[in-house]
A and B are shown apart, each in its own frame.
Chain A
């Protein structure tokens, strides 16, 4: 489990509009990589291109290479559905399936694909996933209640449990805490620390303290102006990025002088 990602010279388009240009970045296995940068600089777009969720939007396309364990995700014979089974994703707003119970939500990856499994096996997956998402103790008595009845923070952890229940190699998180209060946020940050042992995690965040707290590597995205494509300005170990960045724009952003 847990694989490294190598992105080289990736251009991402919405129709004719070049949204992100020329990104080259390695992502180490079993580490947390944070993407920071001002709104609209393409960090979420870039994240979505890592498991081919980008192309769900009409007219969106990508060129360049995303290598996971040496396999190019955008090779012609790659099936995006299989790519997404390998690389899970947690979204900005918690989105549990409203028609499903808590347990069914956790098993959604298996159930929606009509995977047959024994009851005991299913129960194991539910318990293991909810435990690793730090939600087990709160919901173990009401697994058959609807998932939409939980609080926002619990729903987000339910979504994390759902993402890791399919045992992906990589977990992508698109501003997972932006809709949550500080306490739920800190629960999820602790969770990211735990999950790092087993998964490669890439997280987009607007919160620089969060990036400093949870990540091993930080990448800074910026755009030259409105209508210009976003670019990767620099990336490096989080400590270095926050104490001694190479690019003056990174320093300005991290110190809160713009953005």
Chain B
């Protein structure tokens, strides 16, 4: 056994030419880090400092030294690698820029407004300072919850049909196509649809929270269908077969094997769909309207929501305009926080609900 383990050519001293050709020449390891750090520092000074925004471009030029230097020292292949790395990083930073800008602006302008009065008061009989978003917050939560209650069953059952029953059928192809079309419906059209629908029953000028929920669910259903469909697709067919082979009927297999296996993904998808529609303004503007008072009844009269409240606080601030605009920023911040919490919840759910493997 040991004789076969020995390698036939065992030369302890490697030849210098081969060693050189294998290694090639390279930049000192500190170089990319140093230039990167310098570029970041310059860019930060450019954005926040007194010098001027043009410093950001200087920063980028500093970072661009690395590929050029690499071209001279290391040759074409590694220079290309470094150049593409630079491009990708630049694109990432540019993509991050609006996000950072929005966050800092909304937090810096909205945070001072937040307080116990802001969360517990409505705008009833408030002129000028004071008042809060309690009515809009409750409206947003109620309408979004109702929208989820409408669209989750419809979306989930549609996805179950598409994956478990519709495979290869013409009806399934049509449903898939229509869901794709539905994804592209502008939100204002969803609002007009809900308004037109409710006008049939309640006459023109109708304003109702539930109408807003219907409009939002028009936007939400395709998202739920798509995400649930993807999650159900991920459940291995072997599990379905294992269940059938135990003499379990198809519907029980779906309820007790397929859905629990996909649960984490489904809940995550639904949460993200909720986060997607909770900030919709246009449809709620049409059908839910705005009010200054608290309204817990989805089926009776106008209902304030955070996006619509924000919109009107900016558009019709009253005299003096200051407090109203401050409240708008506060409401925007609260909406942002809700969306972030929903995303966080989605993460936690997918962590705790996903099937436990080796641990």
Contacts and interface: CB of A to CB of B under 8 A. Distances in A.
B17 interface: no
A113 B167 CA distance: 25
Q: Indicate the member of A56, A86, A162, A163 with the most B CB atoms within 10 Å.
A: A56
B356 interface: yes
B102 interface: no
Contacts of B249: 81
B248 interface: yes
A99 B236 CA distance: 13
A108 B246 contact: yes
B248 A112 contact: yes
B247 A95 contact: no
A56 B241 contact: yes
Interface in B234-256: 236, 238-249, 252-253, 256
Contact of B247 (A109, A111, A114): A109
Contacts of A95: 236, 238-239, 241-242
B246 A112 contact: yes
A238 interface: no
Nearest to A88: B245
B257 interface: yes
A99 B260 contact: yes
Nearest to A113: B248
A91 B245 contact: yes
Interface string A95-116: 1111100000000110111100
A89 B253 CA distance: 16
B260 A148 contact: no
Interface string B130-161: 00000000000000000000000000000000
Q: Indicate the member of A58, A86, A96, A99 with the most B CB atoms within 10 Å.
A: A99
Contact of B245 (A82, A89, A113): A89
Contacts, number: 87
B261 A99 contact: yes
A91 B236 CA distance: 13
Given A97-B239, A98-B261, A148-B358, A112 B244 contact: no
A187 interface: no
B355 interface: yes
Given A112-B256, A112-B257, A163 B245 contact: yes
Given A84-B244, A149-B358, A97 B257 contact: yes
Nearest to B263: A99
A140 B106 CA distance: 57
Interface in A21-67: 51, 53, 56, 58
Q: Indicate the member of A91, A93, A97, A108 with the most B CB atoms within 10 Å.
A: A97
Q: Indicate the member of B245, B256, B257 with the most A CB atoms within 10 Å.
A: B245
A185 interface: no
Interface of B: 167-168, 236, 238-249, 252-253, 256-257, 260-261, 263, 355-359
10 contacts: A53-B244, A56-B240, A84-B247, A91-B241, A91-B245, A93-B238, A98-B356, A112-B252, A112-B257, A148-B355
Given A56-B241, A82-B247, A95-B241, 19 more contacts: A53-B245, A56-B244, A85-B246, A88-B246, A91-B241, A91-B242, A97-B239, A97-B257, A97-B261, A98-B261, A98-B356, A99-B355, A108-B242, A112-B246, A112-B253, A112-B257, A114-B252, A148-B358, A149-B356
